[in-house]
Structure 1
Amino acid sequence: MLFDELVLTIMKAVNHQRTVSSPFHLIKGKKSGQTLQDIGYFHLYPYFSVLPRLEKAAYDQTVQRFYEQGLLVEGEENIHLTAKAMALQTPVPLLNGWKYRGNEAVFFQRLSLVIQTFSHVSQGIRIFDPVQTAEDIQSWVKSYLRAIRFREPSVYADFNAELITTFKAIQATDQQKLMLMQRLSGYGLSGMTWKQIAGVHGIQPIDAQLQTVEVLHGWLEVIEQQRPPLLSLLAEGLVQQSALTETAKRTKSLFENGHSLEEIAAIRRLKTSTIEDHFVELAMNEPAFDHSSFLTNEILKEIVAVSKAQKTKRLRDIKQKIPQASYFQIRLALAIKEEQQ
């Protein structure tokens, strides 16, 4: 998937209902209530935090291209795609941003340093400049290498076999896989920069980055399925075991212990609106969440009916039709999955 295709896919999902900058926050992984809710409202889970270091200037260049190509209507605060844009087909992404939330970068950092170490040690070289300079990565890799007894020849062979087997199983193109390999360093070989890789493949650097994220997501999925011991340990702690953010988990725990929304806000010393964000996140991700403390079934059905009839998830539009519902109730209703309504 190319970056422009990624942005257009998100814009199609939120067309007329969110601002032009909203895809930027989603792609970077901003943990605001609005962004987290949009993930559930518009089923945008694959795209969350896929490029945490995305610069606004790069995003703005894509938006400007859309204007120039007649895909976006200028002068509108909210996204307003043209018929030409809506007719364009975009590929199905090989992304799982909500599950990995940028941790694929940590996996690559660990992997690249382990491969560099194996490469040098296999040549009898004990001292080299590590490709990863972050102390936490270096410390983790040192512990990992000691744990797997990396100096034993059989371990090197097993690690190599796991790499080959799992890498072949990734659902990605050969070009994408090659771009990832070109980032690796080893004995007598330095990894290429994004600009160098982009030049070799005739694409933009940001497209090279995005496509390698797809490969890493696919690789982590294969590792999770196949459970090869050495690579599974390398990916330890990187897969989100819960769909909830850590702060929403704390609110959930207090709620399950009998505290009200207002009490939770006081205990945690957070704004009531922030705790409301957490409950919306719970409604979006927890099948067993009981919304009855905040929302009657009658109001829930009315909000859902208006949203479907008006084809909108804009809170203001729904509020105009159901003035007796609070904005929190509307947000909560939109977050509750259809099978729970």
Structure 2
Amino acid sequence: MLFTELILAIMKAVNRQRTISSPYHLIKGKKSGQTIQDIGYFSLYPYFGVLPKLDKKAYDQAVRHLFSQSYLVVNEQVLELSQKAIDLDIAASSLNGWKYRGNENLFFNRLSLIVQTFSHISQQEKIFDPIVGNEEIQSWVKKYLKRIGFRDLAVAQAFKEELLSTLTDTEVSETHKMIIMERLTGSGLSGLTWQQIADSKNLSLLDVQLMVVEALHGWMAIIEQSKPPMLLGLMEGIIQESSLTETAQRTEKLFDKGFSLEQIASLRQLKTSTIEDHFVELAMNDPYFNYTPFLNSALYEAIIAESRRRDTKRLREIKEQLPEASYFQIRMALSIREDQ
């Protein structure tokens, strides 16, 4: 997936219902109530936080390019796609940002240092400058290598075979896989910079960086499925135990103990609106979440029916037709999973 395709994939989901900057906040992984709820409203889980260091100028430049290519229609209030964009087919992606939350970087840093170590050991080189400077990662890798008996050449060979077989099974292009390999460093061979790879592939920096994230997400999914013993060890601490943000988890624990929304806001010394954001997130992620303390079934059905009738998830439009519903109740209804 190229960067402009990523933007268009998000825009196609939120067409005419959000502003032109909403994809930017999602791609960066902004943990605001609006961004979190949009993930659930529009099923945007794969794209959350995939480029946390995305520069706003680079995003704006990509948007201008989409305008120049007639994918966007000028609209000062909301994001609006042209028919050309609506008709565009965007290939499925292995991106899974909500699940991995940026931990693909931790996985790849561990992998890079392990590959570098095996490479130098195979050449009887005991001293080298580690490619990863983070001391916590270095410490983790040292313990991991001791655990698997890394000085045994058969172990190094087995690790290599796991690496190649799982990467081969990953459903991304050969270009994706090549970029991953070109980022690795070994004895007498330095990994290429982002710019070097971009130039050699005639891609933009953002295209290359996104393709690495996409490849890593697909690769980690294969490792989870096939469970190769050595590579599976690199997944330690990678997968989020909860699909909720940390702050929503704290609200959930208090709610489970019987505290009301207002009591939780007081105990946590947070605004009521912030706690409401947490409950919307709970409704979005937990198929067993009990929403009845906030919303009766009749009002829920009315909100959903109005949303479908008008084909919108814009709160103001629904509120105009259902003045008896609060904005919080509308947000809650729209966030509740269909399997509830």
TM-score by length of 2: 0.97
SS at match of 1:273: helix
CA distance in 2, matches of 1:147, 1:183: 26
SS at match of 1:338: coil
Partner in structure 2 of residue 244 of structure 1: 244
Partner in structure 2 of residue 335 of structure 1: 335
Superposition deviation, residue 29 in structure 1: 0.8
Matched, 1:208 2:220: no
CA distance in 1, matches of 2:68, 2:304: 37
* Amino acid corresponding to residue 164 of structure 1 in structure 2: L
Partner in structure 1 of residue 304 of structure 2: 304
* Amino acid corresponding to residue 294 of structure 1 in structure 2: F
Partner in structure 2 of residue 108 of structure 1: 108
Superposition deviation, residue 280 in structure 1: 0.4
Partner in structure 2 of residue 89 of structure 1: 89
Partner in structure 2 of residue 129 of structure 1: 129
Map Cα deviations across residues 228-271 of structure 1 (whole Å, 9 max, x no partner). 11111111110122211111111111111111011111111111
Of residues 130-139 and 259-268 in structure 1, the stretch that sits farther from structure 2 once superposed is 130-139
SS at match of 2:339: helix
Of residues 325-334 and 86-95 in structure 1, the stretch that sits farther from structure 2 once superposed is 86-95
Partner in structure 2 of residue 228 of structure 1: 228
Partner in structure 1 of residue 161 of structure 2: 161
SS at match of 2:115: helix
* Amino acid corresponding to residue 284 of structure 1 in structure 2: M
Size of the aligned set, in residue pairs, is 340
* Amino acid corresponding to residue 213 of structure 2 in structure 1: V
* Amino acid corresponding to residue 220 of structure 2 in structure 1: L
CA distance in 2, matches of 1:2, 1:178: 16
CA distance in 1, matches of 2:100, 2:187: 30
* Amino acid corresponding to residue 92 of structure 1 in structure 2: A
CA distance in 1, matches of 2:162, 2:10: 35
Superposition deviation, residue 58 in structure 1: 1.1
| Uncovered stretches (5+) of structure 1, i.e. residues with no partner | none
* Amino acid corresponding to residue 188 of structure 2 in structure 1: G
TM-score by length of 1: 0.97
SS at match of 1:258: coil
* Amino acid corresponding to residue 152 of structure 2 in structure 1: E
Superposition deviation, residue 19 in structure 1: 0.9
Matched, 1:178 2:178: yes
Of residues 240-249 and 70-79 in structure 1, the stretch that sits farther from structure 2 once superposed is 70-79
* Amino acid corresponding to residue 200 of structure 2 in structure 1: V
* Amino acid corresponding to residue 6 of structure 2 in structure 1: L
Q: What pairs with 1:1-341 in structure 2 (closer than 5 Å)?
A: 1-340=1-340
CA distance in 1, matches of 2:144, 2:32: 34
Q: Identity percentage over the alignment?
A: 57
SS at match of 2:36: helix
| Uncovered stretches (5+) of structure 2, i.e. residues with no partner | none
CA distance in 2, matches of 1:135, 1:15: 45
Of residues 76-85 and 228-237 in structure 1, the stretch that sits farther from structure 2 once superposed is 76-85
CA distance in 2, matches of 1:273, 1:307: 22
CA distance in 2, matches of 1:148, 1:28: 36
SS at match of 1:127: coil
CA distance in 2, matches of 1:180, 1:164: 12
CA distance in 2, matches of 1:305, 1:160: 55
Superposition deviation, residue 75 in structure 1: 4.6
SS at match of 2:17: coil
Superposition deviation, residue 339 in structure 1: 2.8
Map Cα deviations across residues 138-173 of structure 1 (whole Å, 9 max, x no partner). 222122222222122332122112112211111111
SS at match of 2:126: coil
CA distance in 1, matches of 2:313, 2:138: 46
* Amino acid corresponding to residue 105 of structure 1 in structure 2: N
* Amino acid corresponding to residue 233 of structure 1 in structure 2: G
